[in-house]
Structure 1
Amino acid sequence: MKKQKIIAILSTLLIFTSTTVSTTTVANAENIKSSDIDLVILFDNTTIDKSVENLVTNSGGKVINEFPDLGGIEVKCSANLIPTVKSLENVHSLAPNHVINLNNEKTAEFSKSQKDLINTSDELYEKYQWDIKRVTNDGKSFNLQSGNHNVTVGIIDSGVDINHPDLINNFLGGKNLVPAGFKDDTSETGDLTDINDRLGHGTNVAGVIAANGRIKGVAPNIGFKSYRVFNKNGETNATICSSAIISAVNDGVKVINLSNGAYDLKGKCYWTDPNTRIKYNLGDDMADYSLYKRAINYAIKNGVTVVSAAGNENLDCSNKTDLTNYLNNLYANDGFHYDGLTYELPGTIKGVITVSATEKNDKLAKYSNYGKNYINVTAPGGDITNSHEITDMCLTTSIDSGYTFTQGTSFSAPKVAAVAALIACEHDDFTPKLIAKKIYKTADKLGASNYYGAGMINAYNAIK
């Protein structure tokens, strides 16, 4: 699911060639000084100011990536260029790319006795998948609508095990957005086709949505595409994620699942250069996260339903001051300081469906984030806290063609993404707003909206 450190987003040295996608200028690594910083510059509108690019290049820096649909660029340049760039008329804000780590979630492999069960022909769905049964009325929704390949879910995550027998029939391709050498990882070559899951998280999410074999997803015949944004250490940044969102939209996906998150600041952002100890005023927001926000709005405006995990820090995300304190603790070692109010992204973006997680008994999971006017709906995420029973977690697909138990809002959100896709199969003219309305109206009421939103997702009611 979401962030152990959150999902920020770094340099994308990739070239996208779609009529509406950003074009990327790939810099020669030999010409970039090791002391140069990876900087995101956001403009006041979607027009990129070429004079800013010229300033960067004339000062010895490089333009790494352009986002003409979002009004932002990524550059490598000296930190002492920050005050000059910030003073320019069309520059809204700028910031070094925050590194984002994959979410704080639990997985548990099968015990020896359970592995014995896996090696038999017994149906794992029937034995272990209480969570899928809960949201499909014990599988009855499968008989109404199980999905098709005319509707595609875009999974923006750590990639996928493309050879997993439970996923292979619904896998429709994807892209790698992690640039060559990202975070000094020599295994990252920038190969667009390298969507091999190094972590397992993306494969876990894909199983919740579209598994069709020994286990079942909520939409066992839906098509999905995988967009890899995490390296082997679970690291990414905002420009990588923004590129993935744009790519998925232009590839024609109908639903995007984001089992990760970021933050939006309304106040002041400061950064202290670790090399010089000079403190810079970067502007009124976090430029890289604001770019991410613009990418999500781009998706919604283009008719794509965006579903987001609420996060696993047990935070009240309606308390904007507490979130600022959280953010300061999170990024203090990276030289950042924030004053003002903080909003979780993408959950607070209008039109995004934000999902909390429940335990097996339909109560809010101990780890799940919550908040008034933040949570839209809930779904099972599993929780081993009380019972210490591994089977109270959620069984899903794992890398190397295996299975694993997981828990987290990362695995509640894809259940909702799958239902959104099923609704799109039934109503190909539905906008994201209508799909969300259908989900909320047909949910099972549970309790306080700050925990459960409209209630528990119900695939059977949503497509009945």
Structure 2
Amino acid sequence: MCKIIKEERYIYEKRKKCFFCSTLLVIFMVSILFTGTTVKAVTANPEDNINLVVLFNDNTIDTKVEDFIIESGGKIVSNLSKVGGLEVKCKSALIPKIQAYDTVKSLAPNHNIKLPKEKTIEFKNYGKRKITANSANNNQPGDLYNLYQWDIKKVTNDGKSFEICTGNHDVVIAIVDSGIKKDHPDLEKNFMGGKNFVSKDFNGDETETGDVDDINDRLGHGTYVAGNIAANGRTKGVAPNIGFKSYRIFNSKGDTNATIVSSAIIEATDDGAKVINLSMSGYDLKGKCYWTDPKTGIKHSLGDDMAEYELYKRAIKYAIKHNVTVVTAAGNDGVDCHNAKKITEFLNTQNGDEGFKYEGLAYEIPGNIKGVINVSATGTTDEIAKYSNYGDKFIDVTAPGGDSSKTGTINDMCLSTAINDSGYMFGEGTSIAAPKVSAIVGLLLCENHSFTPKEIVKIIYKTSEKLDDNKSKEYYGAGLANAYEALAKYK
């Protein structure tokens, strides 16, 4: 369900050797940046229950199907009643029987999304090498913003947008991610609560208790994303006084799945969030999916399209229908996401050893879903970052995400809040670009609560800075998003 947390060209080439061993979701751990997700098919052990997404023809769940699954020894893990979906654990023998119900549109394995390790620079370690003791430890408001946050300065016109609007707590941005360090001094004033969606012992993680209030960030990515939006201390976000909530979807091992992500989107919408930030990226199929049971050799058709893809679409459509603007990261594989056939080849290569076969066209998600604002990443020179995904009619706008491929230094990376001892970290990725756009959306809504998602998109388009004479829309979409221009013209 997770579409999905989307680095550099050398990373892309490394992945390419195993033919895109990962779909991406940019995630940070204390000193490690995660910018790709490995989406592995559910292990098809015939003696175990298989985890499935079951999607119905409309947004109404057929209770007869629920009853049948339970009576046949299966289990209903999640009920997404508002979008007509179920997460089910059952024996593979039930697959054709579930499909036989006329009310079932499709079903598919609920793929696990795993986060591989990627590159960052730890602020504390860098400070010991390069920063003087006074500059690294003076702990003055805005000192790190002044020294390092070129990306925030670029989006805000060197802080000029702060003179118009810095946000308020009447507008809440939902950060669907790895949780939050809620007592971080740069974030605590704008933190407004949240919820955990990771179930007890999820994917064998015994540290997970299933406590809905446990939104503590084990990985660091959610905290990093929040800083780009709402930091107000030594670092600054694009909207330093806006409210945000945290919806945790990853366990301590960096695992999640589509039903968890979709549930979080729906919950954030029902909680009254006006913006949802999805700093994640993955790939999914619109076509036919087959699974061959390794024990029996029987080939199962799992439907005409991937239920996960449709579930994502329904969850995002639900949010937009309720006047919520959804912002997504384009992903960090350096892939032309307009080429759907290549992505299908990737899925077959990645999941073929699990007995899965895909036919049709595959797409990056959630960025490909209609209605979202999909964001690519640029570096200090406003050129597309080497790691950033791109594609004709795929990218809506771009924003600074950092790109150290040219110099390899922190001068081309982005500083934000972290869960490590220093509280800060340098990194790069499209998941760093997307929250800057989410913050701009939030600021616009603070100025005018009546803006609809469609109106917001038009404003972002019209006020973005045109790059490369507007000739490279496959990289930049409408251009470089700018908070000052948006607020100055539409406050």
Matches within 5 A, 1:129-208: 129-208=149-228
Pick the aligned partner of 2:136 from 118, 129, 144. Answer: 118
Q: Which runs of 5+ in 1 are unaligned?
A: 11-32
- How much has 1:391 moved relative to structure 2? 2.3
**Does 2:453 correspond to 1:440?**
no
Instruction: Give the aligned residue type for 1:199.
Output: L
Deviations 1:243-291 (A, max 9, x none): 1001100110000000112334221111233555433110111112321
- How much has 1:332 moved relative to structure 2? 2.8
The corresponding residue for 2:449 is: 428
Going from structure 1 to structure 2, the CA distance change for 1:104 and 1:113 (only over 3 Å counts) comes to closer
The corresponding residue for 1:320 is: 340
The corresponding residue for 2:60 is: 47
**Does 2:482 correspond to 1:458?**
yes
Kept in 1: contact 2:40–2:350 (CA 8 A): no
Instruction: Give the aligned residue type for 2:90.
Output: C
Computed over aligned residues only, the root mean square deviation of the Cα atoms, in angstroms, reads 1.8
More off after superposition, 373-382 vs 321-330: 321-330
**Does 2:436 correspond to 1:419?**
no
1:412 aligned counterpart, secondary structure: helix
Q: Distance in 2 between matches of 1:178 and 1:8?
A: 18
Matches within 5 A, 1:205-354: 205-354=225-374
Kept in 1: contact 2:179–2:223 (CA 8 A): yes
Segments of 4+ in structure 1 off by > 4 A? 6-10, 274-277
The corresponding residue for 1:75 is: 88
**Does 2:105 correspond to 1:84?**
no
Kept in 1: contact 2:277–2:327 (CA 8 A): yes
Going from structure 1 to structure 2, the CA distance change for 1:244 and 1:396 (only over 3 Å counts) comes to same
Kept in 2: contact 1:9–1:240 (CA 8 A): no
Pick the aligned partner of 1:404 from 410, 422, 425. Answer: 425
- How much has 1:118 moved relative to structure 2? 2.3
Q: Distance in 2 between matches of 1:192 and 1:144?
A: 37
Kept in 1: contact 2:41–2:109 (CA 8 A): no
- How much has 1:55 moved relative to structure 2? 1.4
**Does 2:37 correspond to 1:5?**
yes
Kept in 2: contact 1:160–1:196 (CA 8 A): yes
TM-score with structure 2 setting the length: 0.87
Q: Distance in 2 between matches of 1:152 and 1:126?
A: 26
The corresponding residue for 1:23 is: none
Q: Distance in 1 between matches of 2:65 and 2:339?
A: 37
- How much has 1:87 moved relative to structure 2? 2.1
Kept in 2: contact 1:135–1:457 (CA 8 A): yes
More off after superposition, 314-323 vs 283-292: 283-292
Q: Distance in 1 between matches of 2:335 and 2:414?
A: 22
Kept in 1: contact 2:41–2:351 (CA 8 A): no
Kept in 2: contact 1:7–1:260 (CA 8 A): no
Kept in 2: contact 1:9–1:238 (CA 8 A): no
Instruction: Give the aligned residue type for 1:5.
Output: T
Provide the identity percentage. Answer: 58
Instruction: Give the aligned residue type for 2:176.
Output: I
Going from structure 1 to structure 2, the CA distance change for 1:229 and 1:339 (only over 3 Å counts) comes to same
Going from structure 1 to structure 2, the CA distance change for 1:79 and 1:185 (only over 3 Å counts) comes to same
Pick the aligned partner of 1:65 from 78, 84, 91. Answer: 78
Q: Which runs of 5+ in 2 are unaligned?
A: 7-23, 25-35
Deviations 1:108-161 (A, max 9, x none): 102113563321246110110000001100011011000000000000000010
